[in-house]
Amino acid sequence: MPAHTVTNESQNPPESRSRGIGFYASPRTWLLPLLVLLILGGAGTALYIGGLGSPGDHLKHFPIAVVNQDQGTDTPDGGREDLGWNITDQMKQGFGSSDKIELRELSWNEAQDQMRKGQIHGTVVIPESFSADATALVSGSLSAEEVSRPTVTVYTNPQAGPLASSLATEAIDPALEQANRALGEQLTKSAEEAQAQAQAELERELEQLGTALPSELEQQVSPKIGGTSADLLADPIAVNTSVYSPPPEGAALGMGAFFYSVLLMVVGVSGSVALHFLLDARLGVAPIELGPRFTLGPQRRPARWVTFLVKWGIVVIGALPTAGLMMWVASAVGMPIPHGGLFFLTTWLSIVTVSAVTFALIAVFGSAGMVLSLLYVVFMGLPSATGVVPLEALPGFFRFIARGEPLYQMTMANRAVLYFDADASAGVQSGIIGMLIIILIALVVALVFSVIYDKVLGRRGARMVAAASPS
Q: Which of 91-100, 139-148, 273-282, 395-404 has the lowest mean pLDDT?
A: 139-148
Per-residue confidence (pLDDT) for residue 470, from 0 to 100: 45
pLDDT score for 229: 67
- How far is residue 58's CA from residue 174's CA, in Å, rounded to a whole number? 18
Amino acid at 393: A
Residues 246, 252, 254, 256, CA torsion sign: negative
- DSSP helix/strand/coil, 102: strand
pLDDT at 18 over 50: no
Of the two residues 16 and 249, the one the predictor is more confident about is 249
Find the range with the poorest average confidence among 22-36, 312-326, 351-365, 393-407.
22-36
From residue 390, how far is each of 123, 142, 165, 169, 172 by CA, in Å?
A: 16, 48, 10, 14, 17
Minimal CA–CA distance to 402: which of 392, 286, 254, 190?
Answer: 392
pLDDT-derived band at 6, boundaries 50, 70, 90: very low
Nearest to 376 by CA among 365, 392, 387, 390: 365
Q: 124, 140 in Cβ contact below 8 A?
A: no
What tens digit of pLDDT does each residue of 148-164 get?
Answer: 789 999 999 998 888 89
pTM for this prediction: 0.84
List of E strands, 130-283: 151-156, 238-243
Sorted by sequence, the CB contacts under 8 Å of residue 412 that are 6+ apart come out as: 386, 427, 430, 431, 434
CA angle 166, 168, 171 (to 5 degrees): 110
Does the structure show a pLDDT above 50 at 216?
no
Question: Is pLDDT at 451 greater than 80 in this prediction?
Answer: yes
Lowest mean per-residue pLDDT among 66-75, 210-219, 281-290:
210-219
Residue 80: phi, psi to the nearest 5? -135, 135
The β-bridge relationship of strands 122-126 and 80-81 is unpaired
Of residues 16 and 411, which shows the higher confidence score? 411
Q: Which residues contact 286 (CB under 8 A, 6 or more apart)?
A: 277, 280, 296
Query: Does the pLDDT value for residue 320 go beyond 80?
Result: yes
More confident residue, 149 or 467: 149
> Mean of the per-residue pLDDT values for the chain?
84
Of the two residues 137 and 429, the one the predictor is more confident about is 429
Residues 6+ apart with CB under 8 A from 465: 299, 301
pLDDT exceeds cutoff 60 at 323: yes
**Rounded mean pLDDT, 14-43:** 74
pLDDT of res. 207: 62
Do the beta carbons of residue 443 and residue 360 sit within 8 Å? yes
User: Are 102 and 64 spatial neighbours (Cβ–Cβ below 8 Å)?
Assistant: yes
Mean pLDDT, residues 45-65: 88
Provide mean pLDDT across the span 197-219. Answer: 57
Structure confidence at residue 5 (pLDDT): 43
